[in-house]
């Protein structure tokens, strides 16, 4: 945990410099990096953006959805890079990448199994689940999921996640770092909630795609 906190402090210092120079384009650029290799904590990037780029400038809350759009755009670009790398390079490239980035291959295997089971729903809901959101692009690419479907599901999920954290940073102000602390504390509950949403999505899609039963009318003649 201490190592993670130290890493977040380093990201914080770098993010402040980037935001001073580039504003929301800097947010989008950091989210590209966060979703491609998946090592920068989005809760730090987005919480700081909500405070530094909106609250500190005394801008109205209506800027939060616009900020979410910038951040989601960066997220989609980064996720698409990971998707195409996995799709074109296959599992050998993924394994080499995981080794170089010191990512446990078991995490990728777990995300791949979940994607095989839930498909599009996992890409959508997985964007709202810490620890899974930046890995789900890999099994989607390995499975050659249609890119347009991947893009749409990724954008929706990323926009919700980014807007939520930017809004939290705006509301908390100087205490925006509580976003990260709360996410770590409530991570198990977030995972359970995400799984519940995924089950509801899976049930709804199966129910809506089930063929309607046509009543058989008896011939009364």
- Per-residue pLDDT, 221: 47
Looking at residue 80, what is its pLDDT?
94
Rounded CA gap, 140 and 112, in Å? 8
- Give the start-to-end residue ranges of the domains of the chain: 2-207
Alpha-carbon gap, residue 135 to 144, rounded angstroms? 15
Mean pLDDT by 10 residues, the chain (221 residues): 58 80 91 74 84 88 93 94 90 76 69 74 78 80 90 92 90 69 53 54 55 51 47
Does the CA dihedral 205-155-61-45 come out positive or negative? positive
Torsion angles phi and psi, residue 190, rounded to 5: -65, -40
Nearest-angstrom CA–CA distance, 29 and 11: 13
- pLDDT value of residue 112: 74
pLDDT (0 to 100) of residue 198:
52
Alpha carbon separation from 155 to 40, 128, 189 (Å, rounded): 19, 11, 23
Answer whether 0.85 is exceeded by the pTM: no
**What pLDDT, on a 0 to 100 scale, did the predictor assign at position 158?**
92
């Amino acid at each position: 945990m201490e190592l993670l906190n130290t890493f977040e402090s380093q990201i914080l210092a770098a993010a402040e410099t980037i935001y001073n120079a580039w504003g929301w384009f800097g947010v989008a650029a950091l989210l590209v990096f966060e979703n491609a290799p998946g090592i920068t904590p989005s809760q730090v990037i987005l919480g700081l953006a909500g405070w530094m780029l909106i609250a500190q400038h005394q801008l109205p809350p209506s800027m939060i959805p616009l900020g979410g759009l910038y951040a989601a755009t960066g997220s989609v670009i980064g996720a698409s890079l990971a998707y195409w790398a996995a799709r074109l390079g296959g599992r050998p490239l993924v394994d080499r990448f995981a080794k170089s980035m010191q990512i446990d291959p078991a995490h990728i295997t777990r995300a791949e199994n979940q994607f095989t089971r839930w498909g599009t729903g996992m890409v959508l809901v997985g964007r709202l689940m810490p620890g899974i959101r930046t890995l789900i692009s890999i099994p989607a690419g390995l499975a050659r999921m249609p890119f347009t479907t991947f893009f749409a599901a990724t954008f929706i999920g990323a926009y919700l996640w980014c807007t939520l954290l930017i809004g939290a940073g705006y509301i908390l102000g100087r205490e925006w770092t509580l976003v990260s602390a709360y996410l770590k504390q409530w991570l198990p509950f977030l995972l359970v909630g995400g799984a519940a949403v995924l089950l509801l999505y899976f049930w709804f899609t199966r129910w809506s795609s089930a063929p309607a039963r046509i009543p058989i009318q008896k011939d009364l003649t």
